[in-house]
Amino acid sequence: MGPGSAYSRQVCGETKATSMKNVTTTAARHGSAPALDERAIQRQFARIAATYDSASQLQQKIADELIDRIELVCPAPDTLLDLGSGTGYLGRRAREKFPALSVIAIDRVAAMANESSSADPGVRTVIAAAEKLALEKESVPLVLSNLLLHWCDVGAVFFEVARVLEIGGTFLFSTLGPDTLMELRAAWAEVDDYPHVHAFIDMHDLGDALVMAGFSEPVLDTDRVSVTYKGVPQLVEELRRAGGANVRSDRRRTWIGKERYRRFVAAYETFREQGRLASTWEVIYGLATKDRATAERSIPVVTLPGRN
């Protein structure tokens, strides 16, 4: 969130119980989700690594919320795995708040991992995909992941996290829900039929996937954040600087053209209120524990209202 943007937070959420009976349907939905272009992901995050921190204030605020939730974990862990660490902001802030923590930072993009290692040499930095962690089984007591899951195969990540967590270990994460960038999606829908925004997973499907991976009593809640901008160019530029470019494999590969872009801007202008353009971000938070005895049982998923 750059100098030309502002944000407000709207609390939202609902309560719903689900169980293993929904897992098959959920897995099918995950399997049909549009694939992402791994090379494009690598290129865009390598390109912005050096300047990412200056463009990611919203991401940092969400990371701060995750760090606050470490206090919910008892007993206090001695090691934290920062999964999808980027430039290492979350790990550095966690060590400031909890000096006794030892941090392992893992990111799939070498340029991001290098930024993290340079900023805090005291953190052990590993380059690895979240779907295939370079860690031993049951080797860490706490995993935090900030805004990573929508770049990954969610089911594979959950199984890997369950593998490396100690028995009784805790998984805390944030990700983006389906209402994220809904104004952007709607504006482009007035222009063409190509996908311009990623498909984000619903909170309840995330809960089902956690249960399928063997986590017990997952708890999920959601916040809605509205970021406003002076105009569309500021919004588009900030998304690019924060790594928000469209990398869907089925994205449009040809030049958009001035006329299409003009129609997109005109469509987005219909969302202008009080002189500002809104951009909605649905942020989902999750907490789950690893309990071997419940790994194959049907466990209800509880979703709670967001916190003020």
**Would you say residue 155 has pLDDT above 50?**
yes
Residue 24 has pLDDT above 90, yes or no: no
Q: pLDDT at position 19, please?
A: 32
Nearest to 153 by CA among 136, 175, 138: 175
Is the omega angle on the peptide bond into residue 75 within 30 degrees of 0, that is, cis? yes
Is the pLDDT reported for residue 22 higher than 50? no
Q: What is the pLDDT of residue 256?
A: 82
**Phi/psi at 179 (nearest 5 deg)?**
-80, 0
Provide the pLDDT for residue 33: 58
For 49-98, the pLDDT digits (tens) are 999 998 889 999 999 999 999 998 888 899 999 999 999 999 999 999 99
Q: 35 is written with which tokens?
A: 């694939």
Average pLDDT along the chain: 85
**Rounded distance, CA 258 to CA 246, Å?**
18
How high is the pLDDT of residue 164? 96
- Tracing tokens 């690895």 back to the chain, one arrives at 128
pLDDT band for position 18 (50/70/90)? Answer: very low
Q: Which amino acid, 12?
A: C
Residue 274: exposure state from Cβ atoms within 10 A (0-12, 13-18, ≥19): exposed
The residue ranking higher by pLDDT, 15 or 213, is 213
Distance separating alpha carbons of residues 27 and 299, to the nearest angstrom = 17
Angle at 232 between CA 231 and CA 234, to 5 degrees: 75
pLDDT of residue 255: 76
Q: 98: which residues sit within 8 A by CB, 6+ positions away?
A: 70, 76, 80
Query: With contact defined as beta carbons under 8 Å apart, do 200 and 150 qualify?
Result: yes
pTM: 0.83
User: Domains in the chain, start-ordered, CATH in brackets?
Assistant: 5-296 (3.40.50.150)
Residue 24 CA, chain-centre distance (Å), reads 23
How far does Cα 19 stand from its chain's mean position? 23
pLDDT digits (tens, 9 = 90+) for 214-258: 998 899 999 999 999 999 999 999 999 998 888 888 787 777 889
Residue among 159, 98, 97 nearest 130 (CA): 159
- The whole-number pLDDT of residue 89 equals 96
What is the spatial distance between Cα 305 and Cα 303, in angstroms, rounded to a whole number?
Answer: 7
pLDDT over 70 for what percent of the chain? 83
Tell me 224's DSSP state. Answer: E
**Among 2-6, 121-125, 181-185, 204-208, whose mean pLDDT is lowest?**
2-6
